[in-house]
Amino acid sequence: MKTNNLYQLIDIVGRFKDLKRKGWLIKKVINPESDAEHSFSVALLAMLLMPAGLDEKKCLEMALTHDLAEVYCGDYTPQDNITNEEKTAQELAAIKRLAKELNNEKLVSIFNEYLDKSSKESIFINAIDKLDNVITASYYDKNNRASVKLTPEFAGYAQRKIDELGNDDWLQDIKEVLRRIV
């Protein structure tokens, strides 16, 4: 085991499971998903939609940990009054703290790669992260878990963010899945 402190691991995993995603709270979704549930969903979508030629293990590690820093810095939404630089600095400090507490420095390099979008794997997981938000919004809409329709707003945001990631063929596939949801 890479962590020397089992109780620290228990606390971090528990907090990750308890942390409800802020975007859904703002929209007053009934029983919104947690960060841990979202990360699992991103990992499952990554596994199911994985394009050939990507490092599957790296993608799954990134999917499972891309929001882990939020255990300490909280979940930011586009509506928050914080610059990208401030958000990144807070997230980096949080992931470094987690890496130290869990005795796993690899968390920092995985997180940095995700943030920097410096590999095809990180671009893929960034796109899947946005797609998952739309899938979740659609699920909430179909099950009447919010007082307003969520899918159009979240789909528009996801489309803009995915468009910024490039034009690889597999990104086109993700965009097609997004179009089919909407």
Predicted model pTM:
0.95
Please report the pLDDT score of residue 76 as a whole number.
87
Count of domains for the chain: 1
**What sign has the CA pseudo-torsion 58, 64, 69, 75?**
positive
User: Residue 33 is part of which domain span?
Assistant: 6-181
Please report the pLDDT score of residue 4 as a whole number.
65
Residue 128 lies in a domain: yes
From first to last of its 182 residues, what are the pLDDT tens digits of the chain? 465 688 999 999 999 999 999 999 999 999 999 999 999 999 999 999 999 999 999 999 999 999 999 999 999 888 888 999 999 999 999 999 999 999 999 999 999 999 999 999 999 999 999 999 999 999 999 999 999 999 999 999 999 999 999 999 999 999 999 999 98
What's the CATH number where 126 sits? 1.10.3210.10
- Both tokens of residue 151? 């899918």
Please report the pLDDT score of residue 77 as a whole number.
86
Please report the pLDDT score of residue 79 as a whole number.
81
Residue 145 lies in a domain: yes
The alpha helices in 102-150, defined as continuous H runs, are 106-116, 120-142
| Rg, Å, the chain Cα set | 16
Please report the pLDDT score of residue 81 as a whole number.
87
Residue 1 lies in a domain: no
Residue 67 lies in a domain: yes
Phi, psi angle pair for 31, to nearest 5° = 50, 65
Cα–Cα distance between 34 and 136 in angstroms, integer?
Answer: 12
Contact in structure between 150 and 137 (CB atoms under 8 Å)? yes
Please report the pLDDT score of residue 126 as a whole number.
98
Residue 13 lies in a domain: yes
Please report the pLDDT score of residue 5 as a whole number.
81
Please report the pLDDT score of residue 3 as a whole number.
57
Contact in structure between 111 and 90 (CB atoms under 8 Å)? no
Residue 158 lies in a domain: yes
